[in-house]
Amino acid sequence: MSYRHSRTARAVLRSLVPVICPPEAVPLGDAIVDHLELTLAVSPAVLQRGFAVGLVTYDLGALPRYRQRARALRGDDAERYYASWEHGATPLHVQLARGINQLMSLSCYEQPEMMARVGYRPGPWITEVTQRRLTVYRDDVTRQQAQILAPDPLRPGVRVKPERA
Amino acid sequence: MVAAALLEGPRPPNVFTRADIHGDTVLDADVVVVGSGAGGATIAAELAEAGFEVIVLEEGSYYQTRDFTADTSAMVRQLYRDGGATMAIGNPPILYQEGRAVGGSTVINGGMSWRTPDKVLARWERELGLEGIARDLEPYFARVERRIHVAPMDDEAIGNDNRLLKRGADAMGWKVIGNLRNQAHCAGSNRCAFGCPTGAKQSALVSYIPRALHYGARLYADVRVDHITRHGKRATGVIGTVNGSGHRITVRARLVVSACGAIHTPALLVRSGFRSPSGQLGHNLSMHPNTKVVAIFDEDVTGWKGAHQAYQVREFQDQGLLFAAVNMPPSILAMSFPHRGAALGQLMQHYDRMVLAGMLCEDTATGRVRTINGRPQAFYQLADADAANLKRGVVLLSEMLFAAGARRILLPFHGLAELHSADEARRLLSRDIPASSCEVVTVHMMGTARMGTDRSAAVTDPFGLVHDTDRLLISDASLFPTPIGVNPMETIMALATRAAGHVIDNAARYLS
C-alpha cells in the first residue's frame, strides 16, 4: 500500500470532484480523493503508473486550448474539457476518463454521508440479522460448528502416522 | 457474549502471520499446500486428519469473521487481489476478481454450491479419457456438501430483489430454482462478496481451515510462494517470502500441492522451471464471462436486505446462460454507471429501488495465462458466439425484469441508452452491438492445467498429479478440462477430496 498521489495528480483529481460527483458530494472532495488514493494503492502497479502518467497528461493537455492547466479549470470549462476526453479521439483518452469516473464514483459513494443519502445503512442491519440468526437457529449453528471439527476420516481406519500428542 | 462465543474464538495457535515470523525460517512437513481456498483448504484438512503433517502457505492475510465489517472498500482492499482490479487483456478487457486471504475466493464468493453438471462430466468421460469420473465424484460431492452445509435458503432470508427476479421468471414461465449455498441459516446481510460478517457462509475460512488446524495442520499467512524447489523432476518443497518483512520461508516437503487458482498455479509452475510436455500449461483458460443489467422499479426493493443470489434462473442453462440477482453496495454500483455529476446523483437516488441482475455465460473460447517477469498475465478474447450469447442474455434478462414490473433498465453496453419496455429489449437483438462495448467481468477462472489421461494433451493425471514430474499435485480450478457452466467451488472441493483419498491410499509412496 505504497501509492501516493503526486501533487499534480491530487490537484487534478480534486478539481474533477465537481465534474464527476453529484453536487451534494462536492464538500467531501478531500475525503473522496483520499479514498481514491487508498483504492489505487492496492491496484496493480501497472495501473498505478498508467493512472499517474494519465493525470499529468490530462493536466497539461488543457494548456493549448485554455491556457491553463486542467487543475485550474472550473465550472463549464472543467466540464467541457473532461467531456472532450470522455468522448475522446483515442481509446486512451476514453479509457482514462472512464477510469477516473469509475474510481471517483466508487470513492464518492464510500463516504458515509453519501451512503446515508441513498438509504444504505448496512451496519445496524448486520447486527440485527446476526443476533436473529444466533437466537432463532442457535442449536443448528452450534451443531454445524461441532460438525466442522468432528472426526470423519476420509479413509476410515487408515491413519498414516500415529496420533500426535 | 453468547453470540460472540458462537461466532469464533481466539486465533488458533497454529496460525502464523507476518508478526510471528522474525527471521528466515526453514520448516519440514509431509505436505506443503500453496493456497488456502477451495482446493487448498480441503485437501489440507483431509490429509491432516489422515495423519499427514501439513503446512499451508497463503499469500493473503488471516482474518476472522469479526474482522468483516460494513466498510466495503476496506474489505475489498484486504480480501481481493489487486483490490479487485485485475484485468484479462482482450477486446473487451475482462475484469476478474480473486480472493487473497486465508480461505481464498471462498471468502468473497456468493456461496453457490452446485455439483458439476452431468453433461459436463459425461463430456469429460467421453472426450478427455476421464472414465468413471461421474461415479467417482459422487461420494466426494456428498462429503463436501455435508462439511460446508450446502442447503437451500431459509425463506425469511430472501430479499425483495430475489423475489422480483423469481416473479419475472414465473411470469415468463421460465424455470427458476432456489439456489443451493454453503450456508448455515444465512442471515441475509448480503455481504457475501466482502467477507460474511455473520459467519453463516461456510467458506473455507470457517469450515475446512478450522478443520485442518484442528487436526494439526500449520497455517502461515502473509507468505507469497516464489517457487517450488525441485530435484530433477521431483518437487521437494517451496520457497516463499513474508509480505512486508521480506523474510524467507523454506518448506521442505515430500509432496507439494499447488492450489493458488487457475491464474497463479501455471505461473508458479513456470517460475519453478516445470514444463508440461503437453504444451498446455497456462493454456485453455475459461472464464465464464459475466455481465449485468440494472432494473429500476417503482416499488421499494432494498436489495441489500436479504440473501445474495437466493434464486437462479435455469431456463437457458442448456444454452450456457444462468441468471441471478446480485445486490451490490452503492459504491460498487455507482462505479459501474457511465453517469456523472448531477445525473449520477439523480440515478443513485433510486438505489433502493434497483435490482442488479447478472448472468453467467458458459464460454466457448479459451484464453491463456502467460508468465511475464514471473507474474501471470491473462489474455482472453471473447468469442463472437459468446458475445452474441451475452447480448441475447441481456435481452432475455431485460424481458424478464420488465415482466416483474421494472420501469427502466440500464444496459452494460457503452453508448446505448436505457430501455423502457420489453419491446425495446427485443429490438436489441437486431442491432449491431460491438462486443468491445460490453462490460464483462468474471470470478470463475478455470482450465490452465487441465487434467486427463493423455499426457500429450493434459498437464496432470486425473487426480491432479502433474504428468512427468514427481510429487507435485494441483488442487484448484486449473484442473477443469472445460468450463462447467455453474459455480465451480463444489467441483474444486470434490476434486480436492478425491485427490486426498488418492494420496492417502498411496501414503507409503508419498511419505518415503
Q: Is residue A1 part of a domain?
A: no
Give B93's DSSP letter.
Answer: -
Q: How many CB pairs under 8 A join A and B?
A: 194
Per-residue pLDDT tens digits for B322-374: 999 999 999 999 999 999 999 999 999 999 999 999 999 999 999 999 999 99
Q: Which of A61, A75, A28, A17 is nearest to B344 (CA)?
A: A17
Which of B231, B444, B467, B502 is labelled catalytic? B444
Domain boundaries, chain B: 18-149+188-285+444-511, 155-183+288-362+383-437
**A11 and A69: one domain?**
yes
Contact present, B100 and B60 (Cβ < 8 Å): yes
pLDDT at B417: 80
Question: Helix B341-348 vs helix A7-20: angle between axes, to the nearest 10 degrees?
Answer: 60
Mark yes or no for CB contact B331/A154 under 8 Å.
no
Is residue A107 within 8 angstroms of chain B, CB to CB? yes
Q: Is residue A154 part of a domain?
A: no
**A97 and A138: one domain?**
no
Position B58 pLDDT exceeds 70: yes
Q: Which of A93, A86, A153, A75 is nearest to B507 (CA)?
A: A153
Mark yes or no for CB contact A129/B337 under 8 Å.
no
Contact present, B256 and B32 (Cβ < 8 Å): yes
Q: Is residue A165 part of a domain?
A: no
**A93 and A132: one domain?**
no
Q: Is residue A161 part of a domain?
A: no
| pTM for the model | 0.95
Q: Which of B182, B108, B187, B110 is nearest to B145 (CA)?
A: B182
Question: Helix A29-41 vs helix A91-108: angle between axes, to the nearest 10 degrees?
Answer: 110
Contact present, B464 and B497 (Cβ < 8 Å): no
Measure CA B315 to chain center: 23
CATH C-level class of B155-183+288-362+383-437: alpha beta
Place of cell 510429487: B471
**A76 and A20: one domain?**
yes
Q: Is the fold of B18-149+188-285+444-511 the same as that of B155-183+288-362+383-437?
A: no
With CA atoms as reference, the chain B residue closest to A119 would be B352
Compute the distance between CA of residue B183 and CA of residue B151 in angstroms, rounded to an integer. 7
pLDDT at A162: 66
Q: In CATH, which of 1.10.150.20, 1.25.40.10, 2.40.110.10, 3.50.50.60 is domain B18-149+188-285+444-511?
A: 3.50.50.60
Q: Is residue A23 part of a domain?
A: yes
- Per-residue confidence in pLDDT tens, chain A, 165 aa: 567 888 999 999 999 999 999 999 999 999 999 999 999 999 998 899 999 999 999 999 999 999 999 999 999 999 999 999 999 889 899 999 999 999 999 999 999 999 999 999 999 999 999 999 999 999 999 999 999 999 999 999 998 886 654
Residue B401: which residues within 8 A CB-CB, separation 6 or more?
Answer: B164, B165, B168, B293, B295, B355, B357, B409
pLDDT at A91: 87
Mark yes or no for CB contact B331/A106 under 8 Å.
yes
With CA atoms as reference, the chain A residue closest to B42 would be A154
Nearest to B185 among A98, A122, A141 (CB): A141
Q: How far, CA to CA in Å, does A133 sit from each of A5, B153, B184?
A: 44, 13, 9
Q: Which of B221, B267, B264 is nearest to B242 (CA)?
A: B221
- φ/ψ of B101, rounded to 5, equals -165, 165
**A111 and A125: one domain?**
no
Compute the distance between CA of residue B116 and CA of residue B104 in angstroms, rounded to an integer. 20
Residue B199: which residues within 8 A CB-CB, separation 6 or more?
Answer: A130, B6, B7, B8, B65, B206
Q: Which residues pair with B28 in a beta bridge?
A: B252
**A13 and A47: one domain?**
yes
Taking contacts as CB-CB distances below 8 angstroms, the residues of chain B near A21 are 340-341, 344-345
**How far is the alpha carbon of B137 from chain A, nearest alpha carbon, in Å?**
13
Q: Is residue A15 part of a domain?
A: yes
**A96 and A73: one domain?**
yes
Domain count, chain A: 2
Per-residue pLDDT tens digits for B64-110: 999 999 999 999 999 999 999 899 999 999 999 999 999 999 999 99
- φ/ψ of B28, rounded to 5, equals -125, 145
Per-residue pLDDT tens digits for B144-166: 999 999 999 999 999 999 999 99
**A103 and A128: one domain?**
no
HSE, side-chain direction, 13 A CA sphere, residue A150: 9
Q: Provide the residue count of chain A.
A: 165
Q: Is residue A159 part of a domain?
A: no
**A112 and A142: one domain?**
no
Position B3 pLDDT exceeds 70: no
With CA atoms as reference, the chain B residue closest to A159 would be B50
**How far is the alpha carbon of B110 from chain A, nearest alpha carbon, in Å?**
17
- β-strands B180-182, B176-178 pairing: unpaired
Q: Is residue A133 part of a domain?
A: yes
Q: Which of B475, B40, B380 is nearest to B221 (CA)?
A: B40
ipTM: 0.94
Site from B185, B299, B301, B336 to mutate, A interface, most A CB atoms within 10 angstroms: B185
**A143 and A86: one domain?**
no
pLDDT at A161: 80
Per-residue pLDDT tens digits for B223-280: 999 999 999 999 999 999 999 999 999 999 999 999 999 999 999 999 999 999 999 9
Q: Is B444 a catalytic residue?
A: yes
Domain coverage including residue A11: 7-117
